[in-house]
Amino acid sequence: MLRKADGFEAEKIIVLPPYILKEMVAHPLIRQLYITDIGYFPRARHHYRDRPSGCSMHILIYCAGGEGWIQSGSHKAMRVTEQTLTVIPADTPHSYGADENNPWSIYWFHLMGEDAGAFFSNFSMEAGPLRLGLSHSVKLLDLFGQCYDILSSKPYSMDHQVHVSQTVRYYLSFVGLMKAGAGEEKSERYIEQAIQYMKEQLESNLSLEELVAHTRISKQHLNHLFKQSTGFAPIDYYLRMKIQRAGQLLDLTDRSIKDIGLSLGFQDPYYFSRLFKKMIGLSPTEYRNKLKG
């Protein structure tokens, strides 16, 4: 069977030479995250790669069309289809290739840097490739194009490499957001519904039971969704919204601290002041007197 790593018609590929990589590793704004290789293989028939020992770079592969497969580490080979994104961590044995009948078209990065591992572990994809919607696909391809164009025209400029590094950082944080939200549309609707109700009740004292009745899901499920999405339990999040609003009123009005607390449902001004200081780090008076802007 014919197999090849590159050499496809109309392909794009850039591999940065060692002396540029050496400069990038020494640069304080680049060494945290940078591209070593970047490419695009359209309709890559017979494409195949096998790295039994892995490689020192993290690899990100976006399949824009067609099909292929990726086997990484001890996991079974995963089928890769159109509009899916896959990552292969550094030093992980792997192999991948295009489907024989419907070969994939892929965009790919090789990445290194002090922060690369943290980004990749943040959106680990052991469960399989991440499928993207059309708007997300367009966004990723736009970011790829920005990086490729700069690296093809200004690869020796460290100022341009700084820009590429920050573009890649944004790219990966964008992927992380998509990963966090994948398959959670219904859960997000519950969260949004609850938060909107909290906003409408900032002047009251909303209970967890009232939130549960409003969202029509169990107390346990609501707690789980909130902690997963925001890092806080529902009522803790609600109190933080109140304190955020109190800060706005302290900044924008001359109302007394007691009056602001009462307007947000705090009948005990001492409790309001203690809670404000616990969350903000300053008492309401200290916060109001602190210069801002």
Angle at 229 between CA 136 and CA 122, to 5 degrees: 60
Residue of 290 and 206 predicted with greater confidence: 206
The residue among 161, 152, 150 whose CA lies nearest residue 23 is 161
Strand 68-72 to strand 58-65: parallel, antiparallel, or no bridges (unpaired)?
A: unpaired
Res 137: pLDDT: 84
CATH number for region 12-181? 2.60.120.280
**Neighbour-count burial of 231, counting CB atoms closer than 10 A to its CB (0-12 exposed, 13-18 middle, 19+ buried):** exposed
Q: What is the mean pLDDT of the chain?
A: 89
Residue of 244 and 138 predicted with greater confidence: 244
Res 184: pLDDT: 54
Residue 257 near residue 269, CB atoms below 8 Å: yes
- Portions of the chain given CATH number 2.60.120.280: 12-181
- Portions of the chain given CATH number 1.10.10.60: 185-289
Range 4-29 average pLDDT: 91
Residue 10 pLDDT class (50, 70, 90 cuts): confident
Angle at 277 between CA 274 and CA 280, to 5 degrees: 145
Residue of 163 and 291 predicted with greater confidence: 163
Res 26: pLDDT: 95
- The Cα diameter of the chain in Å comes to 80
What is the layout of strands, in order, in the sheet containing 48-51? 48-51, 94-98, 68-72, 78-80
- Per-residue pLDDT of 252-290, as tens digits, reads 899 999 999 999 999 999 999 999 999 999 999 999 988
* pLDDT higher than threshold 90 for residue 43: yes
Residue 99, C-beta contacts closer than 8 angstroms, at least 6 positions apart: 66, 67, 68, 69
Range 17-30 average pLDDT: 94
Residue 127 pLDDT class (50, 70, 90 cuts): low
Residue 8 near residue 47, CB atoms below 8 Å: yes
Res 180: pLDDT: 58
Range 60-75 average pLDDT: 91
In whole angstroms, give the CA distance from residue 252 to residue 248.
6
Residue type, 193: Q
CATH of 185-289, one of 3.40.1260.10, 3.10.310.30, 1.10.10.60, 3.20.20.70: 1.10.10.60
Range 81-89 average pLDDT: 90
Range 46-56 average pLDDT: 93
**Neighbour-count burial of 216, counting CB atoms closer than 10 A to its CB (0-12 exposed, 13-18 middle, 19+ buried):** exposed
In whole angstroms, give the CA distance from residue 261 to residue 31.
48
Res 7: pLDDT: 84
- Per-residue pLDDT of 128-171, as tens digits, reads 688 877 777 888 899 899 999 999 988 889 999 999 999 999 88
* pLDDT higher than threshold 70 for residue 50: yes
